[in-house]
Amino acid sequence: MGPGLTDDNELLSGGPLARAAEMDADGVQVFLADPQGWTAPVPRPDAEALLAADVMVVVHAPYVLNVATTNNRIRIPSRKLLAAHATAAAAVGARAMVVHGGHVLAKDDPAVGVDNWRKTFVRQAEDGGFAVPLLIENTAGGGNAMARDLDAISRLWEAVGEFGAGFVLDTCHAWAAGWDLGSVVDDVRAVTGRIDLVHLNNSRDAAGSSRDRHAPLTEGEIPLELLVEVARAADCPIILETPGDAAAHAEEIQVLRRALQR
């Protein structure tokens, strides 16, 4: 599967399939509700078109969800909404759903967050499992995060790997967390055994900054050649979450395609 794009502005752009056609993308990543809110997903009017399209669809869960936290007022609704979004993702033919690893409070033992993640999968398995595969994404900052450091991801995977949890490698997040992008694909696979999706993003900030600020593919602090090598080594679907207009995104997709064909 070749490059895809994230569609954060569907209503202004005519929908994800229109955007994919406009930019010659092979896939799209969409939200099914406000990414910064707690709104439950509702049926999409373009569901049948998405199901029938020859375009990979990936859903991203809302950013606010945090199934790791010890705060019951966040963790419990996060679990419920995660399941609801997975069901809605299946209704549009999504290949998988991306979710951030979340975090615990500074006073908490991270092991509690890992256990909360395991309980999420265990309880969902009792109801037949998630309707689509769940892909956990590495995050850029936070010492109490579940998926910032490779050792933390290792502990998380010991708890949830048996449930078929997938992994999303975000290059901007990895760069911000101080990972070595030259070996990151091998490093992650040594821990998780898999990389299911790459969010191929450049960064506006220096390595190790802990700042999650995406940059256009060719304009950030990460050398383009390094990003291309990550994409080539991962050999899996790629989504671009870079800033820019339609023309800029179309050019990025072509730049990446040409580089991967060399």
Query: Average pLDDT, stretch 243-260?
Result: 96
> What ranges do the domains of the chain cover?
3-260
pLDDT confidence of residue 220: 97
pLDDT, the chain, mean: 94
Query: Average pLDDT, stretch 158-163?
Result: 98
Band (pLDDT 50/70/90 cuts) for residue 9 is very low
pLDDT confidence of residue 7: 52
243 has a pLDDT exceeding 90: yes
Query: Average pLDDT, stretch 164-178?
Result: 98
Distance CA 140, CA 143 (A): 10
13 has a pLDDT exceeding 70: no
Q: In terms of Cα–Cα distance, which of 47, 25, 122, 120 is closest to 79?
A: 120
Query: Average pLDDT, stretch 193-220?
Result: 97
**3-260 CATH:** 3.20.20.150
